[in-house]
Chain A
Amino acid sequence: DAGVTQSPTHLIKTRGQQVTLRCSPKSGHDTVSWYQQALGQGPQFIFQYYEEEERQRGNFPDRFSGHQFPNYSSELNVNALLLGDSALYLCASSFLGQARGYTFGSGTRLTVV
C-alpha cells in the first residue's frame, strides 16, 4: 500500500522564480494538506484541498497557491520566490471525516538562492 508520494525530493531555485511541487496521497485518502517546515521549526499549515477546492488556509500570502486533481493528487505552486521560502514542504493526506492523524510524505526540500 503506497503511502504519500512527493516530488521532487530536492529543488534549488533562484529568487523571483516560480516552483511547482507535487503530491500523490495515500490510497483511499481524499484530502491533501500542505505544510511548510523551516529548519528546527514545526510544520506550518499552508492550506488544505478537498474535492478539488481549497477548504482551509493558513497565514500564507497569495504567492502560495494550489490545486487538487480528480484523482486526489495535488500541486503546490509558489510564485516570486524569496530566500525565506527555503524550507521542507510536506504533503499530508487524510480521509475527511475520519478521526485519525495525517499520513505525511517525506517532503520536498526547497532551497532558494
Chain B
Amino acid sequence: EDQVTQSPEALRLQEGESSSLNCSYTVSGLRGLFWYRQDPGKGPEFLFTLYSAGEEKEKERLKATLTKKESFLHITAPKPEDSATYLCAVGDNNDMRFGAGTRLTVKP
C-alpha cells in the first residue's frame, strides 16, 4: 500500500527565514505527487502536481521538487500569510493518499 511520511510535523519560522518541508513516499509506481495547502477549518487547496524525478514547479514563494523517493516544498522568504498546514499526497484522481502534513507558522 502507498505510504506518505511528512516531516517535520511542525515548523516555526521568522518572516523571511527560508526553509524546506519534506515528503517521503513508498509506492509501487508513482502516478503523481501532490502538494496542498490547508488553512484551519478549511478543505485542502491544490498547489502542485509532480510526475517524474527532477521535475520542479513554482508558485510565488513556493517551489516543489521531486526525487525518486521524496519531494521537497521549499519556501523562500516566507510571510505570515504562508502559515498553514501543507499536505503531500501520492496517487492520481482515481485514488489519492495523504500524509499527516506539516504545520507551518511564520512569525512577523
Binding site for B on A (CB under 8 A): 4, 31, 33, 35, 40-45, 48, 55-56, 88, 90, 92, 94-107, 109
Contact = CB atoms under 8 A, between A and B. Distances in A.
B43 A90 contact: yes
B95 A99 contact: no
A105 B95 contact: no
A53 B98 CA distance: 23
B100 A102 contact: no
B94 A104 contact: no
A45 B43 contact: no
A97 to B, nearest CB: 7
A41 B94 contact: no
B100 A42 contact: yes
B44 A104 contact: yes
Contact of B95 (A40, A56, A100, A101): A56
A101 B96 CA distance: 9
B96 A102 contact: yes
20 contacts: A42-B87, A42-B89, A45-B96, A48-B94, A48-B95, A92-B96, A94-B93, A96-B94, A97-B93, A98-B93, A99-B49, A99-B93, A100-B46, A101-B36, A101-B46, A102-B96, A103-B46, A104-B45, A106-B42, A107-B41
